[in-house]
Chains A and B, each alone.
Chain A
């Protein structure tokens, strides 16, 4: 399988920018794994977090840079950034068979957001690996419905900042 990279793309908040980015990925044959868009702290700027499956990332970055509305592209590595995803998952779970599971669910920090006689809906926010582990855990019970957000990421502040060279 191709490697999954997380790109953070700072763009001008203008109509059509998402379409331009998506269209560029399609045209160049790059496969988008997930995509999340939202405003930033700065007025007029949005940030797109794009998880892309590709071997050769350099070309993706260069092509993205050619879009007039793209301001900055950063690749986030798991070791230097915080990555999060959110899922909501409805799992088939009749009353009476819930005890053990709820305990495990608690360990992951998932919360029960909807209860019905035949199923429970959980919500969990965490790094992508943790979210996948949780899904593996509940899968045997029977997943009825699942929604997953695009991953979002921000760089960590360096804890051991190197002294500046003079």
Chain B
């Protein structure tokens, strides 16, 4: 006999069927029916303190595990609070499924209590979204949503479920075969394009590889490293692509972009062939596209055809999944000897040696953020998942941490969502409980979402958060110092009002503090010894420190500012 369920039970069962083990959410009126069967489900529900937190937790979970992150919210404000994490996940291609409650179908359009036009509001913030109007279709929609979220270019998918659909009685059945006539992502690259790319790379004198977040999402880091070695390609990673090749490799040039390494930025400008895979030539990377990579023929491989030719002119377009592209490249490159290109290698090595990342930590001076990051790396041996917010601390984390593996660097790249780190770290730790998850956050970011540390304490998710307290929105302040004659309009938060140690304790976490250079290593050590509670470590850092190198927004990559002296 066919099993009769409520729509809500069918929804939870459908999630279980997709292999979901952890969801992040906040309940409320319209979604209430779905919360009842959750109690009987093996799925772990982590109760966030704000829906934005739930959304970023799902994102952090997805980055750390490579699986689809799931978040749940109620109608109206619950759903609108998810808009930021959804937009964040869309631009960074994070596979997520968001489930939102909705007022009953009979009330839709009546301006009912907690009614918002969720599918309309999230249309531009999701890869696709659904409004359930037939409870019997719940298994199909959930299956379709997961398929869309994780295939092709991954992204967030939202399912809006009216309360009467959750309360309806349905007959459970396995989802129907997918019927998506308009959704057929190309995953296998065209052999002719691969052959052309190999030919171009083999004849190149100054070629380079450029790897982005697409490598991480496709699980193609090993293949990327293999190809970089095979073809002897100096390799730049985008902010999102950190960890796609080991920083310890002599081929690794570090991060590209506005605050990328000199070697990375200059490699673009001097290369004759650039093979970009899983990248989207963000404006923070190209600077003014008119002056970007003036001598280079560009080979661009991406799962999303719309990214190819969007920003830079492409010589050879390759549409395909990054893993499939790299596997094919490795195979087709064959056993040809690795080209030496000694001149080019020497030039690139020269940049690395002459213009390394640097900072000046005085023993009796204020703590520099870069020093904290290097100390954290030294003490942990680099064995941690690093999560960051957005701003100066993010740039320094990406610059100074040595990434050796994929899925161990989680941050908000495209949308630049301040406040991302705390919830994303919680999501990552929930997905990878045996790994050390250390967030490198700024005080500005931290103050946007720190209430989720209560979630971490209550749900026993022992993340560690380094708060780089410079008493300001550091990056905003940096721009004001550089471009607004130092007029600090609304960028100063104050570094002595909020007591982070007391705040940590109030939230059920351990609070630690370092105010001098000598205290940095001991507090890091201490933080690593506490594993039964979350830890918040405040580092009182130099508010005058600026992120360099820097390419001015909209400027040319030929003009890299290395220090303040360059601006004098």
Residues of A near any B CB (own CB < 8 A): 11-12, 15-16, 19-20, 23, 27, 58-59, 62-63, 65-72
Contacts and interface: CB of A to CB of B under 8 A. Distances in A.
Contact of A23 (B123, B133, B304): B123
B310 A66 contact: no
20 contacts: A11-B182, A15-B131, A15-B133, A16-B131, A20-B123, A23-B124, A58-B309, A59-B306, A62-B306, A63-B306, A65-B182, A65-B306, A67-B182, A68-B127, A68-B148, A68-B182, A68-B183, A69-B182, A71-B182, A72-B182
A27 B122 CA distance: 12
Nearest to A67: B182
Contacts of B124: 23, 27
Contacts of A71: 181-182
Q: How large is the interface on B (under 10, 10 to 19, 20 to 34, 35 or more residues)?
A: 10 to 19
Contacts of A68: 127-128, 148, 180, 182-183
Contacts of A63: 306
B181 to A, nearest CB: 5
Contacts, number: 39
B119 interface: yes
Q: Give me the 3 closest cross-chain CB pairs, A-B, nearest first.
A: A62-B306, A71-B182, A68-B128
A66 B303 CA distance: 11
Interface string B378-395: 000000000000000000
Interface string B292-310: 0000000000001110011
A19 B124 CA distance: 11
Contacts of B304: 66
A157 B123 CA distance: 37
A72 B183 CA distance: 10
A19 B306 contact: no
Query: Main secondary structure on chain A at its contact with chain B?
Result: mixed
B182 A62 contact: no
Interface string B114-144: 0000011001100110010100000000000
A72 B134 CA distance: 27
Given A59-B306, A63-B306, A70 B123 contact: no
A110 B133 CA distance: 45
Interface in B509-541: none
A12 B306 contact: no
A138 B309 CA distance: 45
Contacts of B133: 15
B19 to A, nearest CB: 22
A16 B124 CA distance: 13
Given A65-B182, A71-B182, 17 more contacts: A12-B182, A15-B131, A15-B133, A16-B119, A23-B123, A27-B124, A58-B309, A59-B310, A62-B306, A62-B310, A65-B305, A65-B306, A66-B304, A67-B182, A68-B127, A70-B182, A72-B182
Contacts of A67: 182
Contacts of A16: 119, 123, 131
A58 B148 CA distance: 24
Contacts of B309: 58-59
B408 to A, nearest CB: 29
Nearest to B155: A66
B109 to A, nearest CB: 13
B305 A62 contact: yes
B449 to A, nearest CB: 27
A145 to B, nearest CB: 32
Nearest to A22: B123
Nearest to A23: B123
Nearest to A63: B306
Contacts of A12: 181-182
A19 B120 CA distance: 8
Most chain B C-beta atoms within 10 Å of own C-beta, residue among A63, A68, A72: A68
Contacts of A58: 309
Nearest to B306: A62
B300 to A, nearest CB: 13
Contacts of B306: 59, 62-63, 65-66
Contacts of B128: 68
Contacts of A19: 120, 123
Contacts of B310: 59, 62
A149 to B, nearest CB: 26
Nearest to B309: A58
Nearest to B183: A68
A69 B148 CA distance: 12
Nearest to B308: A62
Contacts of B182: 11-12, 65, 67-72
B308 to A, nearest CB: 8
A72 to B, nearest CB: 8
Contacts of B131: 15-16
Most chain A C-beta atoms within 10 Å of own C-beta, residue among B133, B148, B183, B309: B183
Contacts of A20: 123
Nearest to A69: B182
